[in-house]
Amino acid sequence: MPICVNKRGDVFEELMEVSEEEMSSMKFEYPITHALVVAKSAEGFLLMFNKWKKNWEVAGGLLEEGETLRECALRELMEETNQIPSRLFFLGLMRFSLHNGKKEYGGLFSAFITEPRPFEENEEAREIVFWDEESEIGYIDEIDHKLLSFYKDEIFLS
């Protein structure tokens, strides 16, 4: 049974709890294409408004050649939101079946932003918000909204 389906028909099928080290010895049936970051500050979850999709989502994007999932997560977080996490924790691999028929994996990370930085509008993001989970901000992609539930606070307390 899928974890979540968004209105475009993309299916978030599974979160595989594996370590970054374990991944190097695993065989995958589909490509690992991207990394997503569920980031939080004392004010709430970090979401960006995607200019192209016209909705709120977590930061993340496609892997570049030769890049690790961790490098991709950090780069995308900075490019899209101008935020630098004080801690970044790998949560596992997500498996997706996309509306276009493709199947892929992506890395999921938790991050904590100790000192939020000023946002700089860019090609992809119009604005960011540290969302308190109660304020009405508009449409959040269903999969991205579900990803917030995988955030782990306790990893940052030690």
Average pLDDT value over all residues in the chain: 94
Token pair for residue 133? 């989970």
- Integer Cα distance of 136 and 123 in angstroms: 24
59: three-class secondary structure by DSSP: strand
Averaged pLDDT for residues 39-67: 96
Assess contact for 38 and 56: CB atoms under 8 A.
no
Beta strands in the chain (DSSP E): 4-5, 11-16, 32-41, 44-50, 55-57, 59-62, 87-97, 103-112, 125-131
Domain spans in the chain, listed from the N-terminal domain onward? 6-105+114-156
Confidence of residue 157 (pLDDT cuts 50, 70, 90): very low
Is residue 92 scored above 80 in pLDDT?
Answer: yes
Average pLDDT (64-86) is: 97
6-105+114-156 fold: Nucleoside Triphosphate Pyrophosphohydrolase (3.90.79)
Q: Whole-model pTM?
A: 0.94
| 26/71: higher pLDDT | 71
Neighbours of 97 (CB within 10 A): 17
